[in-house]
Amino acid sequence: MTDGRSPAPLLTDLTSAQVTDAVRGRTVVWPVGAIEQHGPHLPLSVDLILAEGFAEGIARELDAFVLPAQAVGARSLPQSGGGLHFPGTVYVAGDTLVRFLRETLSALAALPMGRLVVVNGHYENEPFLFEALDQVREQGLFDGAEVFAFSWWSLVRDTWAATEIPAFPGWHAEHAGVTETSLMLHLRPDLVTDERPDHDDPPRAGIYLHPVDVGQTTHRGVLSSTSGSSAGLGERLLRHVVDEATALVRDGSGLLFAQSRPDRHPDRSPGRRPDRASDHRPDPRPDRSPDRSADRAPEPGGAGPGADLRAPDHRPDAQRRTAVHAEGNQQ
């Protein structure tokens, strides 16, 4: 982002002696991108630069550390990235990417961070990233920490896209199109050429074809239209996604235990929510409710006032939390 603010601190600028205490309970943001062709007007580094740009904005809002971006991603596909028919794309096979991401995440889990946020900038990365995260989760390596992972376009609201991009073709076909061109015009205009190629017949999503006629699925590596691209649109899109990501992380949307977190209370205004995952401040107000346990009759069987007569719950913690969540919704 080019607003003159200080950049988010890089995790890699810390020494080995500093890193443990520095990240304890803090948020770490990791951008994941790719090296992929993006038509004749954009550089091979688009997915990398955009992931870094969103990660930087999110990290600054959350007072977080940011990691250097992962540059090599999954294979480009014809229906979403133009495929391998254009020079410059560098990729690894899906199983290799899953293993790399899993081992990197496992190493990161050794740090006492409170929260990891992974920002994906390459369409084809998403299933492999989520698979790696699930494998790490199953090993219990992030127990006690929160993990958020998303592709930046997944946070763009439909109403925003409908207003700002009237001829929106769908995110699978927004390859080298109006959104990526606009974001690059905002973040790195020096890397954008003057050409604005359009493809009038964007490919449909979820279809695998062999053989592929790249003359039909793309126009020189562009899957949709670049018409209407501007630095202003890119700036608004970047701000929109950063705001949505910050709200998602702060509110804990979708997390089972979010309701029990002091920094996730729905009644608090966004400005009062702590940014650090470890900042769980106790309620300073004293409990003024009178203790009426002495007024109650003894429980059957000689149990004292207020005794919990339920059978012990030996289920794992995750099952108990899920059950409590479900029971609370039934009341």
Catalytic positions = 36, 38, 47, 122, 124, 175, 180
Cα–Cα distance for residue pair 98/103, rounded to 1 Å: 9
Rounded (10°) angle between helices 94-108 and 126-138: 50
Measured CA to CA in angstroms, residue 166 lies from 41, 169, 173, 176, 179 at distances of 22, 9, 14, 17, 12
Looking at the chain, list the stretches that DSSP marks H as alpha helix, in order from N- to C-terminal side. Answer: 16-23, 46-61, 78-81, 94-108, 126-138, 158-164, 178-187, 214-217, 231-251, 317-330
Residue 100 burial (CB < 10 Å; 0-12/13-18/19+)? middle
Closest-CA residue to 61 (of 244, 260, 201, 283): 244
CA end-to-end distance (rounded Å), the chain: 46
DSSP string, 278-313: T--PPP-S---S---GGGSPPPGGGPPTT---SPP-
Amino acid of residue 20? T
Contacts of 280 (CB under 8 A, 6+ apart): 261, 262, 263, 274
Distance CA 242, CA 264 (A): 18
Measured on CA atoms in the order 293, 299, 302, 303, is the torsion positive or negative? Answer: negative
